Structure 1
Amino acid sequence: MKILSMVVAVLLAGSVSACVTINIYFPAAAAEKAADKIIDEVWQLQKPGDAPAPTKPNEQK
């Protein structure tokens, strides 16, 4: 009986700990600023007058 109560206690503790959720909230302004910075960096890689490099069509064998 003592072993059964220990097993039940361990299972109960495991079930309760499995229900824990951690939420992390990021400030919207900081996330938007970071996204704008990344977009600006990507646009700077391609100069306004440059056209994208042509791609080759898929070759079938």
Structure 2
Amino acid sequence: MKPAELRDLSEQELTAQIHSARRDLLGLRFQHATGELENTAGMRRAKREIARALTIAKERGIEING
């Protein structure tokens, strides 16, 4: 998601987006560890998406655990 799209989300939607992105990254890490992941650029993209969402959450003062 683009930063502008993330800023339009409500607090609950933003939190859900962060948890979903973290779950996706975990899946990508497992695929990479088992040799199933062909496109490793997806891991970098997922990390950046998490970082963007966490930055916006911090700007709003939302506490994200985990």
Instruction: Give the shorter-chain TM-score range.
Output: 0.3 to 0.5
TM-score (norm 1): 0.35
User: RCO greater where, 1 or 2, for CA within 8 Å and sep 6 or more?
Assistant: 2
TM value normalised by structure 2: 0.33
Which is richer in helix?
Answer: 2
